[in-house]
Amino acid sequence: MTTVPLCVNFECDFVLQLVPVESDFTMDQVAEAAAHHSLNRRVKPQPGRTLRVRLQDGESPFDRESTVEQAGFQVMETIEVYYE
Amino acid sequence: MALLNRSDWYDIARDTNWTPKYVTEEELFPKEMSDCFDVPREKWETYDEPYKTSYREYVKVQREKDAGAYSVKAALGRMKFLDSADPGWKSILKLHYGGIALQEYAAGMAEATMARFGRAPGMRNMATFGLLDETRHGQIQLYFPHEYVSKDRQFDWAHKAMHSNDWAAIATRHAFADIMSGRDATSVALMLTFAFETAFTNMQFLGLAADAAEVGDVTFSNLISSIQTDEARHAQIGTPALKILIENGHKEGAQKLVDIAFWRNWRLFSVVTGPSMDYYTPLAKREKSFKEFMIEWIVGQFERNILDIGLDVPWYWDTFLEDLNTTHHGMHLGVWYWRPTVWWDPAAGASPDERDWLEEKYPGWNDTYGKCWDVIIDNIKNGREDLTLPETLPIVCNMNHLPIVGVPGKKWDVRDHYLDYKGRRYHFGSKVDRWVFEQDPDRYAGHQGLIDRFLAGKIQPANLEGALKYMGLQPEDCGKDAHDYAWVWNYNKPDKVAV
Ligand SMILES: [Fe+2]
Ligand SMILES: [Fe+2]
């Protein structure tokens, strides 16, 4: 297990942020780690909706269960976290 | 004894070209230091500086300027303006001095490059005065804030900032190294004097002087107007140089240097001058919005200068005009949110009345930037200041070294304009920053931004506390909300509900 720092673009926020995740994190855990730095800070949460993860410009999100390693994220990969 | 008129002797006296005997012309004026375009010497001899002065005249005028600025300071010093000044205004002073005073010395070195290596005698002559100007600007802008240091140690950053690894200092050094210390004399003439001084110093030194006069800070208003009179003179070094380059078939190369310098300065101003004018200056004292000032000074005047001289507007002009509506709002939000990382106390500028003003000047502000401020305001009201402070770092651009920001809220538009180069991924805040990198990748590729340094383990402990230590910020230096959140409580007035 290694730490993978990511460049996170969180929906409706104004800035890209550095978010370190672990290589065995699922996409749900990645979204949660990202949300910690945006939701309730500068972005209002949307209860009942699910956060998904995709690459910047990616057409579809990664499976919620797939891990950082399976997704093949490089160090400082730019990802978008958004409500489905 | 009667003196000759200046025009009778000026041309001969300043013509310091000679034919070297002991070294070659190339050794005397190496291309890397003098002129990357390699325009022949005889072409440079047509250089005609529009503003002519003699040393005697220069000293006389400068002495009067200094006497004026220092005597205003001495006379008003006892009035203790600063004690009663709005905290937002104090922050402008701290930001201004820390960001600019030492860069004036660096500008002096750039003038010295032109004074020694400039190919045209007229350029060398004017730049000698420019060097003296910049020395004055450095001295006076360290002297004025110095008296406040005993009252407020953030003023110590007038001298300290540029020696630190604060992110704002890294950004400023990187930009100015790119247009001043890291360029040959001809490029300096284009990038510093033409692109920076004829366009942007007006903004900081005349726009802000207008606000200063409104606020009642006569000392500062006088000081920076005095500086601007020097800038207006030595800024004219670039225009005749540009003319020669265009005449000798180097329009394209000259255009590129101007485009690079203009963009780099624009981004810096979006974090320094934008928040100062639209958020820190007390609402009742705002002369114009930042965008209005930019349109007047940059679009109105600089655009005309560019076209008159035979260049085109930069290729990204539409992007730039669009940026005037957005970038500095994001920069401001970033500086305020990461306020412990700066040496001034950012004023939020987001009270109900201020929001009305922002919405009027920038239609759509409430639906975008306002959405982020809504959450911040709720948190402060609910006693959750902790949620208004950062727990990680923003990604900074590998060109301008400022946070990568975009439009939040209903028009969410934030992007990483990245580029993979020789196995490393570079992150950029805009396509123009990436374009600058692509013009000469190896010039920029080795530099490590704050995030790169963090990831390389240079910042320990690897958290925000370690980052503050790395930036040289002691707890008393760290920025906090300028008004201690007093503006939030204006939202309790029933007729002003946050939308
Ligand atoms: Fe200056
Ligand atoms: Fe200058």
- Residue-wise pLDDT for B355-371, tens only, equals 999 999 999 999 999 99
Rg (alpha carbons) of chain A, rounded to whole number? 12
Instruction: Judge contact between B482 and B280, C-beta under 8 A.
Output: yes
Interface residues on B facing A, Cβ-Cβ cutoff 8 A: 330, 333-334, 337, 369, 371-372, 374-376, 379, 387-388, 390-395, 403-410, 412, 414-416, 418, 425, 427, 451, 454-455
Ligand 2 centroid distance, CA of B470 (Å)? 31
Domains and CATH numbers, chain B: 23-490 (1.10.620.20)
Contact B354, B426 (CB under 8 A): no
What distance separates the 2 farthest-apart alpha carbons in chain A?
A: 32
* pLDDT band (50, 70, 90) for residue B306: very high
What's the pLDDT score for residue B7?
A: 86
Question: Is the distance from CB of B124 to CB of B114 less than 8 angstroms?
Answer: yes
Using an 8 Å Cβ cutoff, are B58 and B133 in contact?
Answer: no
Nearest by Cα to B344 from B98, B104, B91: B91
Q: Give residue B352's pLDDT band: very low, low, confident or very high (50, 70, 90).
A: very high
**Nearest by CB to B405, which of A14, A43, A74?**
A14
- Residue B109, pLDDT > 50, answer yes
* Residue % of chain B over a pLDDT of 70: 98
DSSP string over B29-67: S-HHHH-TT---HHHHTT---SS---HHHHHHHHHHHHH
**Around Cβ B261, how many Cβ atoms within 10 Å?**
29
Residues with CB under 5 A from ligand 1 (ion): B 104, 134, 137
> Which residue did the predictor score with more confidence, B80 or A26?
A26
Q: Is the pLDDT of residue A35 over 60?
A: yes
> Rounded to an integer, what distance in angstroms lies between the CA atom of residue B103 and that of residue B294?
22
ipTM above 0.90, yes or no: yes
CB–CB contact A44 B409 (8 Å): no
Higher pLDDT, B80 or B242: B242
Confidence of residue B154 (pLDDT cuts 50, 70, 90): very high
Which pLDDT belongs to residue B78?
61
Residue (of B39, B89, B59, B338) closest to B221 by Cα position: B89
**Which residues in chain A have Cβ-Cβ distances shorter than 8 Å to B391?**
36-37
The whole-number pLDDT of residue B370 equals 98
Tokens of B21: 């005997």
Q: Where are the domains of chain A?
A: 3-83
- pLDDT over 80 at B1, yes or no: no
Cβ-based contacts of B395 with chain A (< 8 Å): 7, 15-18
Nearest Cα to Cα of residue B207 among B342, B297, B137:
B297
Contacts 24+ apart (CB under 8 A), B230-233: B230/B62, B230/B65, B230/B133, B230/B136, B230/B137, B231/B133, B231/B197, B231/B201, B231/B205, B233/B51, B233/B53, B233/B126, B233/B129, B233/B133
Query: What is the spatial distance between Cα B273 and Cα A60, in angstroms, rounded to a whole number?
Result: 40
Residue B427: list chain A partners with CB under 8 A.
Answer: 7, 16, 76, 78
- DSSP of B332-398: HHHHHHTGGGSSS------SHHHHHHHHHHSTTTTTTHHHHHHHHHHHHHTT-GGGGS-SS-BPBPT
- For residue A57, which phi and psi values (nearest 5 degrees)? 70, 0
Residue B494 has pLDDT above 70, yes or no: no
Nearest CA in chain B to A3: B455
CA of B114 to the centre of ligand 1 (A): 15
pLDDT (0 to 100) of residue B37: 97
Please say if the pLDDT value at position B395 is more than 60: yes
Query: What DSSP letter does each residue of chain A carry, written as one string?
Result: --EEEEEEEETT-SBEEEEEEETT-BHHHHHHHHHHTTBTTTB---TT--EEEEETT-SSPPPTT-BHHHHTPPTT-EEEEEE-
Find the DSSP H helices in B147-178: 157-160, 167-176
pLDDT at B6 over 80: yes
> How close does chain B come to A62, measured CA to CA in Å?
19
Average pLDDT, whole number, for chain B?
Answer: 93
What pLDDT is stored for residue B165 in this prediction?
A: 98
Q: How far apart are CA B278 and CA B295, in angstroms?
A: 14
Enumerate the residues of chain A whose CB falls inside 8 A of the CB of residue B337: 15, 41-42
Provide the pLDDT for residue B45.
Answer: 92
CATH class of A3-83: alpha beta
Q: How far apart (Å, rounded) are the C-alpha atoms in residues B467 and B31? A: 41
Is B379 in Cβ contact with A43 (below 8 Å)? no
What part of A 16-75 touches B (C-beta under 8 Å)? Answer: 16-19, 36-37, 40-44, 56, 74-75
Cα-to-centroid distance, B407 and ligand 1 (Å) = 33
Q: Of the candidates B405, B403, B430, B406, which has an alpha carbon nearest to the alpha carbon of residue B419? A: B430
Could you tell me the pLDDT band of residue B61, with boundaries at 50, 70 and 90? very high
Query: CA-CA-CA-CA torsion for A41, A44, A49, A55, nearest 10 degrees?
Result: -60
Average pLDDT (B82-111) is 95
Asked whether the CA dihedral B334, B337, B343, B348 is positive or negative, the reply is positive
Mean pLDDT of B227-231: 93
Q: Is the pLDDT confidence value at B184 over 80?
A: yes
pLDDT of B5 higher than 80:
yes
CB contact under 8 A, A18 and B393: yes
Quote the CA–CA distance of A4 and B123 in Å, as a whole number: 52
Chain B residues with CB under 8 Å of A54 CB are none
Q: Which of these ranges, B9-13, B200-204, B209-213, B307-311, has the smallest mean pLDDT?
A: B200-204
End-to-end Cα distance, chain A: 28
CB contact under 8 A, B416 and A16: yes
Q: Can you give B424-462 as a three-state secondary structure string?
A: EEECCCCHHHHHHHHHCHHHHCCCCCHHHHHHCCCCCCC
Residue B168 vs residue B209, higher pLDDT: B168
pLDDT in tens, B448-461: 999 999 999 999 99
| Confidence at residue B493, expressed as pLDDT on a 0 to 100 scale | 61
The predicted model gives B265-279 an average pLDDT of 95
Q: What is the mean pLDDT of residues B315-331?
A: 97
Non-local (6+) Cβ contacts of B496 within 8 A are B352, B353, B490
Query: Are the C-beta atoms of residues B426 and B419 closer than 8 Å to each other?
Result: yes
Distance between CA atoms of residues A12 and B61, nearest Å: 54
The one-character DSSP state at B79 is T
Report d(CA B89, CA B82) in Å as an integer: 9
- Give the CA distances from residue B268 to residues B77, B231, B275, B450, in Å, rounded to whole numbers and listed in that order: 31, 18, 11, 16
pLDDT tops 80 at residue B47: yes
Assign B496 a pLDDT band (cuts: 50, 70, 90): very low
Q: Name which of B190, B171, B173 is nearest B181 in CA terms.
A: B173
Q: Smallest Cβ distance to B425: which of A18, A41, A76?
A: A76
The whole-number pLDDT of residue B499 equals 43
pLDDT for position B260: 98
3-state secondary structure (DSSP) of residue B407: strand
Closest listed residue to residue A66, CA positions, set A39, A18, A31:
A31
Contact yes or no for B127/B193 (Cβ under 8 A): no
> Which residues of chain B neighbour A7 with C-beta distances below 8 Å?
395, 416, 427
Q: What pLDDT, on the 0 to 100 scale, is given for residue B79? A: 63
- The mean pLDDT value for B440-469 works out to 95
Cα B111 to ligand 2 centre (Å): 8
Res. B287 pLDDT band, cuts 50 70 90: confident
